[in-house]
């Protein structure tokens, strides 16, 4: 073979091989644990320079959020305080004024706005400047756990997403939820409002629990208690096919209200001391209501109210009719505090049905008492709800869905000078300016070393090795052929 012909080929292949060998292989940085104030003096600074998947650990101390600003989390982060008792983050959302003609409308911006999936916020005391500012999250698999949120009753944690967990928080405001497969559990707060499907609302202590356009949601183990005669303890509006069991409601105008809601199951609950109606109905049909304890402090407080009885309601909605529901399961009904029937055979069931009545008012003044439903098996004694086993429907057996548990980072003890104990300003304007530096250079002097993963550059390395082997083999064969030609 003529070497003059192979030289151009070699001139092409050799630089190609060398360039491949000198290629910079991609590097995958491992998730980091960023410590505040060790690495960054502020939570905002840590969020700014964090990458997706990082954990921000905030040591015990008092930290000031930026004045008139929202803390935005637009990447997947776990932000965890050392403990909710000793890690305080003060938030000062912007106060907004808008005008329509000559009328002024006032509102607060969000205190914290999460706009990414898989974000976690836990173990803080979050103090939101009264009266407002939401902690809002738009994303799936958000977890807000174990926080003490100090705010006014109009502030809230607002979550729009699915597979989220809002658990073990204490707050003065409310939780507003829109989505599916979410879990709201063991919170102490003012109110809970949900919208969506297949959510689990359990073991919370609140004053109001409302389901709006909610379907196939489980509500269990909650305590809704009012000392001020709130409108209703549990409210269902345009909500169908939900299961509510083992809840306790006390001290409201209406104990539980079904409004344009059907096919719900209300079982093994206690509704006590309602002033206007233990059960309030409005265009509610085919709800199954049984094995509940209904009782009032005063004998004259009614046990039922149906909006059909109001002539103004009938006048505004000509199609409104008396609600019709099921008040027993075919063998057992409810315990009624005003039932005065007897039990001659001692089976625990009253001898005569309990009448579900409503007084229908008319503009002309001639009221009419209508018996529109019956509990055919009224219970003589209160239901022992604690020992009662509730058979769940198939759709409820998988709620709440399993969610990856949070593994807290292991952080070395803080040096004595790293804990921030700054005084609490009396006015947000007195807050010192501790926003992160404009320079992209991080404050930390030690940058975590990213790890090299062999799998990340194998797709490049293998072709390089093959090309090198082919070129080397071709060169060797040409060399042997040339040597044989010299000896001949």
| Alpha-helical regions (H) of 298-340 | 311-316
pTM, whole model, 2 decimals? 0.79
List the single range of 20-29, 66-75, 114-123, 406-415 with lowest mean pLDDT: 20-29
CA 278/CA 219 separation, integer angstroms: 18
445: confidence class by pLDDT, cuts 50, 70, 90: very low
Please count the helices (runs of H) and the strands (runs of E) in the chain.
4, 39
List the single range of 250-254, 368-372, 422-426 with lowest mean pLDDT: 422-426
268: confidence class by pLDDT, cuts 50, 70, 90: very high
Which tokens is 46 given?
């840590």
For the chain, the first-to-last Cα distance in angstroms comes to 14
Query: β-strand 243-245 against 218-220: which pairing, if any?
Result: parallel
| pLDDT value at residue 87 | 97
Q: Which SS3 state, helix, strand or coil, does residue 454 take?
A: helix
List the single range of 53-62, 184-193, 275-284, 430-439 with lowest mean pLDDT: 430-439
Mean pLDDT of 108-122: 94
Q: pLDDT tens digit string along 451-468? A: 344 444 455 556 655 656
Cis omega (within 30 of 0) for bond into 400: yes
| pLDDT value at residue 188 | 96
Q: Domain residue spans in the chain?
A: 3-28+451-487, 44-199+399-436, 230-389
């Amino acid at each position: 073979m003529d070497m003059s012909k192979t030289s151009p080929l070699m001139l092409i292949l050799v630089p190609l091989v060398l360039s491949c060998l000198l290629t910079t292989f991609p590097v995958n940085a491992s998730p980091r644990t960023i410590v505040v104030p060790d690495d960054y003096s502020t939570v905002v600074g840590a969020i700014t320079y964090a990458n997706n998947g990082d954990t921000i650990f905030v040591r015990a101390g008092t930290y000031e959020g930026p004045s008139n600003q929202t803390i935005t989390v637009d990447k997947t982060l776990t932000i965890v305080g050392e403990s909710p008792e000793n890690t305080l983050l003060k938030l000062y959302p912007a106060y907004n004024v808008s005008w329509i003609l000559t009328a002024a409308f006032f509102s607060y911006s969000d205190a914290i706005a999460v706009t990414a999936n898989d974000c976690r916020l836990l173990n803080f005391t979050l103090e939101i400047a009264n009266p407002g500012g939401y902690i809002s999250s738009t994303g799936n698999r958000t977890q807000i756990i174990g926080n003490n949120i100090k705010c006014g009753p109009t502030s809230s944690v607002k979550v729009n997403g699915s597979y989220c967990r809002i658990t073990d928080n204490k707050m003065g405001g409310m939780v507003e939820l829109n989505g599916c497969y979410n879990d709201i559990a063991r919170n102490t707060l003012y109110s809970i409002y949900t919208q969506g499907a297949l959510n689990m609302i359990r073991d919370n202590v609140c004053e109001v629990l409302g389901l709006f356009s909610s379907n196939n949601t489980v509500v269990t183990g909650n305590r809704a208690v009012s000392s001020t005669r709130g409108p209703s303890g549990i409210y269902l509006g345009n909500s169908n096919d939900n299961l509510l069991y083992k809840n306790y409601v006390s001290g409201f105008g209406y104990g539980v209200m079904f409004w344009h809601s059907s096919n719900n199951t209300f079982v093994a609950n206690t509704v006590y001391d309602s002033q206007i109606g233990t059960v309030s109905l409005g265009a509610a049909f085919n709800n199954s209501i049984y094995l509940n304890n209904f009782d009032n402090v005063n004998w004259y407080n009614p046990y039922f109210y149906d909006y059909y009885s109001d002539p103004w309601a009938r006048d505004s909605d000509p199609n409104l009719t008396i609600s019709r529901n099921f008040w027993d399961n075919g063998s057992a009904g409810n315990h009624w505090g005003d039932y005065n029937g007897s039990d001659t055979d001692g089976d625990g069931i009253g001898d005569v049905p309990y009448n579900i009545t409503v007084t229908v008012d008319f503009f002309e003044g001639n009221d009419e008492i209508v018996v529109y439903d019956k509990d055919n098996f009224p219970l003589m004694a209160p239901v022992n709800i604690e020992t009662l086993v509730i058979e769940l429907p198939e759709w409820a057996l998988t709620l709440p869905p399993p969610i990856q548990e949070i593994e807290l980072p292991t952080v070395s003890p803080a040096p004595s000078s790293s804990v921030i104990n700054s005084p609490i300003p009396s006015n947000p304007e007195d807050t010192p300016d501790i926003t992160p530096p404009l320079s992209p250079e991080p404050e930390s002097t030690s940058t975590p070393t990213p790890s090299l993963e062999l799998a990340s550059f194998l797709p490049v390395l293998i072709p390089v090795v093959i090309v090198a082997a082919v070129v080397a083999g071709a060169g060797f064969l040409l060399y042997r052929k040339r040597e044989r030609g010299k000896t001949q």
